[in-house]
Structure 1
Amino acid sequence: MLKKISAESIKELRSKTGAGMMDCKKALEASEGHIDLAIETLRKKGLALADKKSNRIATEGIIESYIHAGSRIGVLVELNCETDFVARQPEFYKLAKDIAMQLAACQSVYYISKDDIPQEVLLYEKSIELQKEDLVQKLPEIKEKIVEGRIQKRLKDLCLINQLFIRNPEITVEELVKQHIALLGENIKIRRFERFLLGEGLETKKNSFTQEVSKMINKK
């Protein structure tokens, strides 16, 4: 006999995963009401569905913006889907807004995924690691393994999809997108983004008080 699942449990699971109501109900029934097990079930299902759709062409979507409080940081992001219908859905719009907010918060992120990182950046990161003092006495084969591990970690830090989602640190941005692929039934791609920092690239005036006084005296 199936355990009766409350509407509150279904609502809680839906808010945590973004899955449909019936999927949440079935996952809770299968896990006998255990939220954590139901979340794991839905994640596996979502990842499987998302992987099947990942090669489908996505040319529709929206360009979303986010301006942080104080208007000193701004982000533009293009999020693609397969149809204009999905692009108009509130869940898709919210996803785009959340991604833009994530980019404003993660200013060390410069790429969407590791596939977007230029070869020269990879070579530069490797050269930096190879010169670190703690590796000088290591055997070449051991040094290579350590460097490779550190580079992979560094590359993840540079990529958007590997970041923990700021609204739910239990999942990555990649998992967030895949959840929405499962929810909306279409492939979704983060195509590109641009981050704007107020005053970035401009020379700032750094004259000291002493220099200002000296200038005033010399004018007399």
Structure 2
Amino acid sequence: MSVQISASDVNKLRQQTGAGMMDCKKALVEANGDFEAAVDYLRKKGAKVAASRQDRESNEGVVIAQAAADGKSGVVVEVNCETDFVAKNADFVAFAERIANIALENKPATLDELKALQIDGKNIADALIEQTGVIGEKIDVSNYETVNAEKVVAYIHGNYRLGVLVGLSADTEGADEAGRDVAMQIAAMNPIAIDKDGVDQTTIDREIAIAKEQIIAEGKPAEMAEKIAQGKLNKFFKDNTLLNQEFVKDSSKNISQFLDSVSKGLTVTAFKRTQLGG
């Protein structure tokens, strides 16, 4: 009596091994539904088999940031593997860059939608499984971010370990260079928002509470704590919001003043910063 092989069984074996759908179905039929025997069958037939790596940590990889040719949009994609050796492989980097290109061309709304897009006649999710089988490490896309603006500049820092997108309010003369400078600032200083209006109330409340406790612990009167805490909050905004940060290349200006000097009224409308394993 033959064992019924369900589509979910075939998919499970495919996820586990990285072998093709038809090969997995045939292996399960030959093995009467026994997964271990099916894996052995695939190996004996010389199929590329990836050991089940769902529990493996894939914290290495590359971050690819790319802007569209028209400069109106950009994507950041993080493609992970398990070892630095694979991350530095030119073929792996090229594979990640192709995924970023596909994202840029199709503008999917979510990571799941990105994985459903086609690459070499198969969807990206299947290509990742296939790469796991070929390379022998867990390969996945863990992050996908987009920015749309009048001018988008992309920047990759530290041998593909960090990617930044900056959206500027206008595509003016000098915008490319200014955008790159701001992207380098974001890479180095890791701001939490564009300006203080972008900081969530929970963060503000926490900073004020911490400041008040520090002030009272220093022996200052409680009635002074509120005023001093507001001063500390302003310092927090200066250090942690992009437009208010001192420009790393010229500490006499903040980022807002720097952009205004490039073109009157030029500002940042959006940014994304993705760090490997972050």
TM normalised by structure 1 equals 0.54
Aligned counterpart, 2:186: 103
CA distance, structure 2, for counterparts of residue 177 and residue 149 of structure 1: 26
Q: What are the superposed Cα offsets for residues 165-186 of structure 1, whole Å, 9 maximum, x if unpaired?
A: 122222111111111223xxxx
Instruction: For residue 60 of structure 1, report the CA deviation from its aligned partner.
Output: 6.2
Aligned counterpart, 1:167: 249
Aligned counterpart, 1:128: 210
Match of 2:233 among 129, 141, 151: 151
Instruction: For residue 95 of structure 1, report the CA deviation from its aligned partner.
Output: 0.9
CA distance, structure 1, for counterparts of residue 215 and residue 254 of structure 2: 33
Between 109-118 and 138-147, the greater mean CA deviation after superposition: 138-147
Structure of higher RCO (CA pairs closer than 8 Å, 6+ residues apart): 1
Instruction: For residue 78 of structure 1, report the CA deviation from its aligned partner.
Output: 0.8
One-letter code aligned to 2:165: L
Q: Assess if the C-alpha contact under 8 Å between 1:102 and 1:165 holds in 2.
A: yes
CA distance, structure 1, for counterparts of residue 149 and residue 213 of structure 2: 46
Q: Assess if the C-alpha contact under 8 Å between 1:79 and 1:191 holds in 2.
A: yes
**Does residue 192 in structure 1 map to residue 275 in structure 2?**
no
Q: Any gaps of 5 or more consecutive residues in structure 1?
A: 1-58, 82-86, 201-220
Aligned length: 131
Aligned counterpart, 1:78: 167
Between 110-119 and 138-147, the greater mean CA deviation after superposition: 138-147
Instruction: For residue 143 of structure 1, report the CA deviation from its aligned partner.
Output: 1.7
CA distance, structure 2, for counterparts of residue 120 and residue 134 of structure 1: 21
Aligned counterpart, 1:177: 259
Using a 3 Å threshold, how does the CA distance of structure 1 residues 139 and 93 change in structure 2: closer, same or farther? Answer: same
One-letter code aligned to 1:181: S
- Structure 1 SS opposite 2:262: helix
Using a 3 Å threshold, how does the CA distance of structure 1 residues 147 and 197 change in structure 2: closer, same or farther? Answer: same
CA distance, structure 2, for counterparts of residue 60 and residue 179 of structure 1: 20
Instruction: For residue 146 of structure 1, report the CA deviation from its aligned partner.
Output: 1.9
CA distance, structure 2, for counterparts of residue 134 and residue 88 of structure 1: 49
Q: Assess if the C-alpha contact under 8 Å between 1:65 and 1:77 holds in 2.
A: yes
Q: Assess if the C-alpha contact under 8 Å between 2:193 and 2:242 holds in 1.
A: yes
Instruction: For residue 104 of structure 1, report the CA deviation from its aligned partner.
Output: 0.5
CA distance, structure 2, for counterparts of residue 63 and residue 139 of structure 1: 49
CA distance, structure 2, for counterparts of residue 198 and residue 170 of structure 1: 32
Match of 1:116 among 179, 191, 198: 198
Instruction: For residue 140 of structure 1, report the CA deviation from its aligned partner.
Output: 2.3
Q: What are the superposed Cα offsets for residues 107-144 of structure 1, whole Å, 9 maximum, x if unpaired?
A: 2x111111221222211111122223753632222222
Following TM superposition, the consecutive aligned residue runs of length 4 or more in structure 1 with deviations greater than 4 angstroms are none
CA distance, structure 1, for counterparts of residue 149 and residue 193 of structure 2: 21
Q: Assess if the C-alpha contact under 8 Å between 1:73 and 1:196 holds in 2.
A: yes
One-letter code aligned to 2:177: K
CA distance, structure 2, for counterparts of residue 79 and residue 88 of structure 1: 9
Using a 3 Å threshold, how does the CA distance of structure 1 residues 119 and 80 change in structure 2: closer, same or farther? Answer: same
Q: What's the Cα RMSD here? A: 2.1
Q: Assess if the C-alpha contact under 8 Å between 1:135 and 1:143 holds in 2.
A: no
Using a 3 Å threshold, how does the CA distance of structure 1 residues 68 and 114 change in structure 2: closer, same or farther? Answer: same
